[in-house]
Amino acid sequence: MRILRGEFPAVCPGVLGHEFAGTVAGVGTGVSSVAVGDLVAVEPHIYRGICRSCRDGREHLCPDRRAFGVHLPGGFAEHAVVRARNAYPVPDGVSAPVAALTGPLGCAPHGIERSEIRPSDAVTVFGGGAVARSRAFLSVNDVLWYTHGGVRAGPGPNRGASGGVGW
Ligand SMILES: [Zn+2]
């Protein structure tokens, strides 16, 4: 949404779709990690692998990273081309819409672990998008959301969320 509103730098016109999944329609020579017909979740970032962050295993901080749907054609298309190392086969029984949530939902527990918050803690979450909501949903009893889109409220199904305040 921030790209559509012009609030986030992206290649335009381009194909949006940052977090996505799909069925492999073809593979390049020498690819053995995925096969035609596999449902895969796509890791949406590409790194050069040469900076200190990349060498330290913190590729998400790479200043040269590029993202599908932002800098590169994304998943809102009939076909997308991704490197094999960005395509992760998903287990049987997982649907494509659920597989597409792998990235944002993977961020949430990682951030929660790093923050060392506990289930009984009250926290403030900045942002009201999918990642912020998943963090709130997965983490805590009480949440105060700060978003730029106005007041956001809404408890997770098994945890209370106290609401939000716009900025
Ligand atoms: Zn890097």
Is residue 121 assigned to a domain?
Answer: yes
**Is beta strand 142-147 parallel, antiparallel or unpaired with respect to 163-166?**
parallel
Is residue 5 assigned to a domain?
Answer: no
Residue 36 CA to ligand 1 center (angstroms) comes to: 30
Same domain, 71 and 113: no
What is the token pair recorded at 151? 């007041």
Considering its fold, how many domains does the chain have in total?
2
Residue 44 CA to ligand 1 center (angstroms) comes to: 15
Residue 29 CA to ligand 1 center (angstroms) comes to: 26
Q: What is the pLDDT along the chain (167 residues), one digit of tens a residue?
A: 777 787 877 777 788 888 899 999 999 999 999 999 999 999 999 998 999 999 998 888 899 999 999 899 999 999 999 999 999 999 999 999 989 988 877 777 777 777 787 766 777 777 767 677 676 666 555 555 555 554 444 444 334 444 444 43
What is the token pair recorded at 70? 């932002």
Question: Which of 68, 100, 132 finishes a domain?
Answer: 100
Is residue 8 assigned to a domain?
Answer: no
CATH code at position 94: 3.90.180.10
Question: Which of 76, 100, 124 finishes a domain?
Answer: 100
Ranges assigned E (strand) in 11-152: 21-23, 39-42, 45-46, 66-67, 87-89, 122-126, 142-147
Question: Which of 65, 100, 135 finishes a domain?
Answer: 100
Residue 123 CA to ligand 1 center (angstroms) comes to: 31
Question: Which residue segment(s) compose the domain that 81 sits in?
Answer: 21-100
- Model-level pTM greater than 0.85? no
